[in-house]
Amino acid sequence: MKLLRYGAKGAERPGLLDASGKIRDLSEHVTDIAADALMPDSLQRLAALDPQTLPLVDGVPQQDLRLGPCVGQVGKFLAIGLNYADHAAEAGMDLPSEPIIFTKWNSSIAGPDDDLTLPAGSAATDWEVELGIVIGAGGRDIPESEALDRVAGYCIVNDISERDWQLRRGGTWDKGKGYDGFGPIGPWLVTPDEVGDLAAMRLWLDLDGARQQDGTTATMVFGPAQLVAYCSRFTTLAPGDVITTGTPPGVGMGQKPPKYLRPGQTMRLGIDGLGVQTQYVIA
């Protein structure tokens, strides 16, 4: 299934994408794509529905119909740094011996195609296409062998980052990662049965039509199962929590000279099987 949330900001409704690319409303079955709706028994009930019996939503998704973040009511938005070997090399940093965890504040969460407003005075806002993990049946101290069974699905995340505040202004990475709008999620949450090989997913990002990032999850240092298990050592993972798992090379910071976002530019990014996001940059 491809689960999603559609409609105006703050008033999104739950839906799914049918085989013809149209949205079907799920409001009679769940109140949101969030919390207990992401537990295994709920996902099984939704998967048993015939999409043709669900109300058809007017509009074309990502054209004349806005999609919101594909997960609502996110409790924790966790992120992993330097998790692709070729990205670490690009950044001139050693591979981590254990996952680097930071947080993106929930107020950073945005729809997949919402405009990105640059922070006041920003001169180093960067892009990072990433595979996002959405937790279903969470828990604490999850064994790695059980970790993927605790996942409700996967999605695209753009881990937008203001590099000056992340790396040069003291403190933790969170400051540069948590601005409003710095965490577009979606367009949809894809359940594990439709995702395929997690170690062979292609990720890419274009800026004004020019390819910047083009990598695969094959170069991940720590895979999804390792990350879910590791994060659960430090916090109880709950349904709807999101873990974004790192980015391949091609970020602006790693280019010579560095290249950062400017008003008027457009980012377009995608992951095989998970859809595409588009963000227009404004001052």
Question: Which pLDDT score, from 0 to 100, does residue 222 have?
Answer: 97
Question: Which pLDDT score, from 0 to 100, does residue 140 have?
Answer: 98
Question: Which pLDDT score, from 0 to 100, does residue 165 have?
Answer: 82
For 223-229, what is the mean pLDDT?
98
For 58-62, what is the mean pLDDT?
97
Rounded Cα gap, residues 49 and 206, in angstroms? 36
Beta pairing partners, 103: 78
For 94-115, what is the mean pLDDT?
95
List, for residues 25-59, the tens digit of each pLDDT value.
999 999 999 999 999 999 999 999 999 999 999 99
Question: Which pLDDT score, from 0 to 100, does residue 50 have?
Answer: 97
Yes or no: say if 217 and 100 are a contact pair by the CB < 8 Å rule: no
72-282 folds as Fumarylacetoacetate hydrolase; domain 2 (3.90.850)
List, for residues 161-172, the tens digit of each pLDDT value.
999 887 777 777
Question: Which pLDDT score, from 0 to 100, does residue 102 have?
Answer: 94
Question: Which pLDDT score, from 0 to 100, does residue 89 have?
Answer: 78
> Which amino acid would we find at residue 279?
Q
For 211-239, what is the mean pLDDT?
97
List, for residues 258-270, the tens digit of each pLDDT value.
999 999 999 999 9
Rounded Cα gap, residues 261 and 281, in angstroms? 7
Q: Is the pLDDT of residue 175 over 90?
A: no
What percent of the chain lies above the pLDDT cut of 90?
Answer: 89
Q: What is the average pLDDT score of the chain?
A: 95
Beta pairing partners, 109: 183
The pLDDT confidence band at residue 115, using thresholds 50, 70 and 90, is very high
**Domains of the chain by residue range:** 72-282
Burial (Cβ within 10 Å: 0-12, 13-18, ≥19) of residue 90? middle
